[in-house]
A and B are shown apart, each in its own frame.
Chain A
Amino acid sequence: MSLFFIVALPFLGALLPGIMNSAGRAACAGVTFTVSLAAFVGLLTNLPAVLAGEVVTARVEWMPELGLNFTLMLDGLGFFFAFLILGIGLLIITYGRHYLSRDDHMGEFFTYLLLFQGAMVGIVLSDNILLLLVFWELTSLSSFLLIGYWKHLPEGRQGARMALTVTGMGGLAMIGGMLILGQIAGSYDLSVILQNREAIQADPLYVPALILILLGCFTKSAQFPFHFWLPHAMAAPTPVSAYLHSATMVKAGIFLMARMWPVLSGTPEWFVIVTTAGLITMVLGSVIALFKHDLKALLAFSTVSHLGLITMLLGTGTTFGAFAAVFHILNHATFKAALFMSAGIVDHEAKTRDIRQLGGLRTLMPVTFTIATLAALSMAGIPFLNGFLSKEMMLEETTHTVLFGVWWLVPALATFGSLMSAAYCFRFIGHTFLGPVRDDYPAKPHDPNAGMWMPPALLVVLVVVIGVAPFLVQDFVILVAKAVIGGTADLEVKYIKIWHGLVPALYMSVAAVVGGLLVVAIFKPLLKIWDAAPRPEAKVIFEAIVETAAAAARGFTHSLHNGAFTRYAMIGFVAIVAAGYHAWATGTVGAATRDLQEAGAVPIAGWAMLVASTVGLVFLHRNRFLALILIGIVGLMVSIGFVFLSAPDLAMTQFTVEVVTIILLLLALNFLPKQTPVESTALRRIRDAGVAIAGGLATFALAYHYLLRDAVSTPISEFHLANSYKGGGGTNVVNVILVDFRGFDTYGEIIVLGIAALLIYALTETLLNGPVRRRLLNRLPDQPRAGDMHPMMMVVLTRVIMPVVLMVGFYIFLRGHNEPGGGFIAGLVVSIAVVMQYMASGFSWAAARIRYPYHGIIGAGVLIAGLTGIGSWFVGKPFLTSDFTYVRIPPFNEFELATAALFDLGVFQAVVGAVMLSLESFSRLAHRPNTPESDHPMDIDPSRDEAPPVVPGLEKEGG
């Protein structure tokens, strides 16, 4: 079967259990088993090729530019691991089907399990280190889900996050390492990288790469100092622990070290780091395991210890070490999975895993006892069981290993580790199964059904078979070991023997077993010492670190983003000025190319007014009404400046906008406090003033710089001046630019205005339909009010002047193309005319007489502008292309008809609609439906003295 299928099957099959959950537990497990089995069989179909020494490959490109491709390969090492993963997987599925209770969501469980299985198979079959990274992280993710499977357990959630964080961290480090490796080798394909041992080890980046990759391996394989997450992952259901934390995932790190062995090993750095970490882990794990009361915790630390052992073997960098490591991987997988399942059975039956509550199960659960004992003895290194063989090889290897120049260091520690290992195995057997039968088990224990004990039993059979007849697997182990060391080095073939003679390893072994028994004998006093000794609790430390990190992150983030706009603005201003200054300071300043123009008294007076009003505004801004007047003067002065500097259109626009803005601000100020209180400290004001002055100096310098220099080449506006009349049909070049040369800008501009109005309307609606409404209705004026709402003089004047202003608006609109003016200013003028009417006779009276909805006016305006643009398509011209002609109809003078005028009409409409809709929305906030509405345009009208009372409603002609 293609390697792709082997990897893909678990992933694709992962969907099935989730879907099949409702079909029943048997179906759910069945389909999972089938999927796994299919992959397993698929793997086996490749066995002949592997045994023949071939490397099976498959390749599909994914991201060729990056070098990340679906490149898979199957050699001895890969086969070995895949075999373990899928084979043990089948057993775990069988076991899990019986282990999970009826309350557990089995579909979810098996989905996660298959995802994990796929990821693991992916790791071991990857021929591309980036692809390997993908699967690597996938195992972290799927194990996160599996560990946290029992969501209601805090230990599960915490264990899951701890595992994810630690292995995630390692994974991220490994990304770095792998990328360096790929950069050195020039490819991310393993097959290429494995050929580049010399180049890689000679590269200055070898050490960083090595450290980063080992970080990944050590975290995944729970090597010191990252061993602490593994015991907490034991909160997972036992099948998970058995599968992930003994047989497969934790071995991923080991696998990777084995996989990269040809290129990474053999250097002093590798030796020191890997061996030391392995040795410490082995010793530490075994010591902790001894004192664990939770069966699974005990097993977990034993796993840590054994992984340390394997790591140490790989660290030696010798071929024999690699060979021994491979063999121990195999053996450990068999006995450890069996042990986990046994522990699970005990837990399942006795409803406790606490070793202190157990004992005497030998007679109650004979089958389980047999299985567990054989597996534990194998782990303890008792002859004729497979654990003995590989442990002896390990001890043998240590006698050739000299660390830090001390010859006895490694053998002594290894022996001590083995001793402790034997001790906890004996304790496991003794305190669980031996001793008197108790009467206080949480539940009455008995052997489970065959579905649960058969899987571990199968494994124990292997334990015994390999232990007695190691030659059966010898060729296979050699094959795998060869794959590890790669084609470059020769494996000094050693036959696996039970009896090597009286070699040091044997003495060490004996010492370990005897010592182990002794330790168990004096366990109680040892435990007292252990309990009394202070020792860091990983869980507490981890949680403290995470919570500290989170608290620090919170403290940092929330103090940085404290919701203070003033702070954000301050930082922004400082950043802008600083960046601008830096750009300036690192540049060159040439001589001025333009002369200063003389300024007469009038500009100076205007300037003084502008400065005075600005400064006045800054100092008097707390009086908001006065501030409004002052900003009005600033605007007025700017307008006058525009007039002076040859920009009549701008002056008109600025001035009209100013008026509308003031009206708008007055409408808003009606609701707001009329004074701004003093809240900031003097120091803060000084600081703000400092920033403000820096900003002012910056813009001053910049403006002055540009004003004294010409542009680097002729401004494009030369073209506009030259072609405005010829091509645009207008003599007001500014207007022609607006409606023709850059009509597209104007199109966007009126849309901005239209959106503003829609927004204001929408928000008003929202406010009036929300909790604000009540507040508005109950609002009392915060200042005394005069009696005359709609003064007569104003009303009468408006009657005459509004039509005149409308006419002026029309005039400005028409003239815009050739003289100052245009649709925008006209629109503002017309709006102001209508606003005058609103101010004179009030909102209700005036609004009732408006014939056109402002929404419609905006929409129509924007549409007209757009459709005018589209109109040019029909004559084969681009959007907004203008055309014009001159016509003469007596008695009128010749006049110009331009499509630009139509566009300008759209502008005009949009402006009128937008301004009016905005102002109307503001007014609606103040409008109170419960106040009496006037039927008259003015409050006081003596001509009504004799007139009959007006019937309300009749007056609303044209409304």
Chain B
Amino acid sequence: MGAAFRWLMPHPFLTLILAVVWVLLQNNVTAGMVVFGIILGILIPWITSAWWPDTPKGFRLGKMLSYSVIVIWDIVVANIQVAWIVLTVPNSKLKPAWIVVPLKLKQPEAITVLAGTITLTPGTVSADLSDEGHSLLVHVLHTDDPDGVRDEIKDRYERRLLEIFV
């Protein structure tokens, strides 16, 4: 049963995403659309499964949702902050910095979500990964306390992601 399920639906989360995407595309929520979306959601990952060989393990959807809410809030706040910096801080007063975030996360999917979150949130951009994948290089637009930024990243995002990607 499990194996058959795995074969049919190698990435259940992806199936879900696709079904939602389909409904969004149709711009119209009807039963038929949802059913068709699910069918496509099964069919397409099945076609493309060769390119996503290893399924991420123990993904927690619920925690992911709450994480998303936090991130979206952060994005809104961060954007206002950055906009403020852009408009008010002169170039000479700007204090950009590199910070290095050592990673506890191992799964590529998890690291990618973290990196993405960092880029979308307060004045930070994920710039690079170390050559074994154990640290993340982040560029900060304007900070007096690089270590504080690093700690906040680890505390606010990585900790949560460690719970989502078990």
Chain A interface residues (CB < 8 Å from chain B)? 787-788, 791-793, 795-800, 802-804, 806-808, 810-811, 837, 841, 846, 849, 851, 890-893, 937-938, 940-943, 945, 955, 957-959
Considering the complex of A and B, which 5 residue pairs feature the smallest CB-CB distances, nearest first? A958-B50, A849-B50, A892-B32, A942-B133, A796-B112
Q: Do A841 and B108 touch across chains, with their CB atoms under 8 A apart?
A: no
Asked whether B86 is an interface residue with its Cβ less than 8 Å from the other chain, the reply is: no
- Chain A neighbourhood of B80, CB < 8 A: none
Closest to B109 in A: A796
Q: Do B21 and A807 touch across chains, with their CB atoms under 8 A apart?
A: yes
Asked whether B145 is an interface residue with its Cβ less than 8 Å from the other chain, the reply is: no
- Chain A neighbourhood of B107, CB < 8 A: 943
A10 to chain B, nearest CB (A): 78
Q: Do A793 and B35 touch across chains, with their CB atoms under 8 A apart?
A: no
Q: Do B35 and A958 touch across chains, with their CB atoms under 8 A apart?
A: no
A417–B11 CA distance with the chains assembled, in angstroms: 113
A764 to chain B, nearest CB (A): 24
Cross-interface CB contact of A940 among B14, B26, B45, B132, cutoff 8 Å? B132
Also in contact, A807 and B40, with CB within 8 A (given A802-B48, A942-B132): yes
User: Known contacts A803-B44, A940-B129; can you find 9 more A-B pairs with CB under 8 A?
Assistant: A788-B128, A788-B129, A791-B129, A803-B48, A807-B21, A808-B21, A892-B32, A893-B30, A942-B132
Cross-interface CB contact of A941 among B14, B26, B133, cutoff 8 Å? B133
Number of A-B contacts (CB under 8 A): 100
Q: Can you list 28 contacts pairing A with B, beta carbon distance less than 8 Å?
A: A787-B131, A792-B111, A792-B133, A793-B112, A793-B116, A793-B126, A793-B129, A799-B52, A799-B109, A800-B14, A804-B21, A806-B48, A807-B25, A810-B40, A811-B22, A811-B26, A849-B51, A891-B30, A891-B32, A937-B53, A941-B108, A942-B103, A942-B108, A942-B111, A942-B132, A955-B53, A957-B53, A958-B50
Asked whether B18 is an interface residue with its Cβ less than 8 Å from the other chain, the reply is: yes
A790 to chain B, nearest CB (A): 11
- Chain B neighbourhood of A955, CB < 8 A: 53
B129 to chain A, nearest CB (A): 6
Q: Do A841 and B51 touch across chains, with their CB atoms under 8 A apart?
A: yes
Q: Do A807 and B133 touch across chains, with their CB atoms under 8 A apart?
A: no
A803–B131 CA distance with the chains assembled, in angstroms: 28
A797–B47 CA distance with the chains assembled, in angstroms: 17
- Chain A neighbourhood of B44, CB < 8 A: 803, 806-807, 810
Asked whether B106 is an interface residue with its Cβ less than 8 Å from the other chain, the reply is: yes
- Chain B neighbourhood of A837, CB < 8 A: 51
- Chain B neighbourhood of A891, CB < 8 A: 30-32, 35
CB proximity to A under 8 Å, residues B128-145: 128-134
Closest to A799 in B: B52
Asked whether B29 is an interface residue with its Cβ less than 8 Å from the other chain, the reply is: no
B34 to chain A, nearest CB (A): 9
A804–B30 CA distance with the chains assembled, in angstroms: 20
A807–B17 CA distance with the chains assembled, in angstroms: 11
CB proximity to A under 8 Å, residues B4-49: 14, 17-18, 21-22, 25-26, 30-33, 35-36, 40, 44-45, 47-49
Asked whether B99 is an interface residue with its Cβ less than 8 Å from the other chain, the reply is: no
Asked whether B161 is an interface residue with its Cβ less than 8 Å from the other chain, the reply is: no
B137 to chain A, nearest CB (A): 12
Asked whether B101 is an interface residue with its Cβ less than 8 Å from the other chain, the reply is: no
Closest to B15 in A: A803
- Chain B neighbourhood of A810, CB < 8 A: 40, 44
- Chain A neighbourhood of B105, CB < 8 A: 942
A795–B129 CA distance with the chains assembled, in angstroms: 13
A616 to chain B, nearest CB (A): 26
Q: Do A938 and B108 touch across chains, with their CB atoms under 8 A apart?
A: yes
- Chain A neighbourhood of B128, CB < 8 A: 788
Cross-interface CB contact of B18 among A803, A890, A945, cutoff 8 Å? A803
- Chain A neighbourhood of B51, CB < 8 A: 798-799, 802, 837, 841, 846, 849, 937
Closest to B115 in A: A793
Q: Do A942 and B53 touch across chains, with their CB atoms under 8 A apart?
A: no
- Chain A neighbourhood of B48, CB < 8 A: 802-803, 806
Q: Do B36 and A892 touch across chains, with their CB atoms under 8 A apart?
A: yes
- Chain A neighbourhood of B49, CB < 8 A: 958
A893–B30 CA distance with the chains assembled, in angstroms: 9
| Of listed A841, A892, A959, residue having the most chain B CB within 10 A | A892
A671–B107 CA distance with the chains assembled, in angstroms: 36
Closest to B134 in A: A942
Q: Do B50 and A959 touch across chains, with their CB atoms under 8 A apart?
A: yes
Closest to A890 in B: B32
Q: Do B134 and A807 touch across chains, with their CB atoms under 8 A apart?
A: no
- Chain A neighbourhood of B53, CB < 8 A: 937, 955, 957
A798–B40 CA distance with the chains assembled, in angstroms: 18
A554–B164 CA distance with the chains assembled, in angstroms: 80
- Chain B neighbourhood of A797, CB < 8 A: 112
Closest to B104 in A: A942
A958–B52 CA distance with the chains assembled, in angstroms: 11
A959 to chain B, nearest CB (A): 7
B128 to chain A, nearest CB (A): 8
- Chain A neighbourhood of B32, CB < 8 A: 890-893
B47 to chain A, nearest CB (A): 8
B16 to chain A, nearest CB (A): 11
- Chain A neighbourhood of B26, CB < 8 A: 811
Q: Do B40 and A943 touch across chains, with their CB atoms under 8 A apart?
A: no
Q: Do B50 and A957 touch across chains, with their CB atoms under 8 A apart?
A: yes
Closest to A958 in B: B50
- Chain A neighbourhood of B132, CB < 8 A: 940, 942, 945
A853 to chain B, nearest CB (A): 15
A519–B75 CA distance with the chains assembled, in angstroms: 123
Closest to B165 in A: A943
- Chain A neighbourhood of B50, CB < 8 A: 849, 851, 957-959
Q: Do B18 and A792 touch across chains, with their CB atoms under 8 A apart?
A: no
Q: Do A940 and B133 touch across chains, with their CB atoms under 8 A apart?
A: yes
Closest to A848 in B: B50
A837 to chain B, nearest CB (A): 6
Q: Do B25 and A943 touch across chains, with their CB atoms under 8 A apart?
A: no
Also in contact, A792 and B17, with CB within 8 A (given A957-B50, A957-B53, A958-B50): no
B82 to chain A, nearest CB (A): 21
A892–B22 CA distance with the chains assembled, in angstroms: 14
Q: Do A892 and B111 touch across chains, with their CB atoms under 8 A apart?
A: no
A958–B44 CA distance with the chains assembled, in angstroms: 14
A240–B105 CA distance with the chains assembled, in angstroms: 102
Also in contact, A795 and B108, with CB within 8 A (given A807-B18, A849-B51, A891-B31): yes
- Chain B neighbourhood of A943, CB < 8 A: 106-108
Q: Do B129 and A803 touch across chains, with their CB atoms under 8 A apart?
A: no
A788–B130 CA distance with the chains assembled, in angstroms: 10
- Chain B neighbourhood of A804, CB < 8 A: 17-18, 21
Q: Do A792 and B112 touch across chains, with their CB atoms under 8 A apart?
A: yes
- Chain A neighbourhood of B31, CB < 8 A: 891
A935 to chain B, nearest CB (A): 10
A638–B111 CA distance with the chains assembled, in angstroms: 39
B58 to chain A, nearest CB (A): 13
A959–B50 CA distance with the chains assembled, in angstroms: 7
- Chain A neighbourhood of B108, CB < 8 A: 792, 795-796, 938, 941-943
- Chain B neighbourhood of A807, CB < 8 A: 18, 21-22, 25, 40, 44
A324 to chain B, nearest CB (A): 102
- Chain A neighbourhood of B40, CB < 8 A: 807, 810
Closest to B103 in A: A942
Closest to A940 in B: B133
B55 to chain A, nearest CB (A): 10
Q: Do B129 and A792 touch across chains, with their CB atoms under 8 A apart?
A: yes
A890–B22 CA distance with the chains assembled, in angstroms: 18
A892 to chain B, nearest CB (A): 4
A788–B131 CA distance with the chains assembled, in angstroms: 8
A941–B103 CA distance with the chains assembled, in angstroms: 12
A811–B53 CA distance with the chains assembled, in angstroms: 26
Closest to B25 in A: A811
Q: What mask results when residues 77 to 115 of chain B are scored 1 for a CB within 8 Å of chain A, else 0?
A: 000000000000000000000000001011111011001
Closest to A956 in B: B50
| Of listed B14, B31, B48, B51, residue having the most chain A CB within 10 A | B51
- Chain B neighbourhood of A846, CB < 8 A: 51
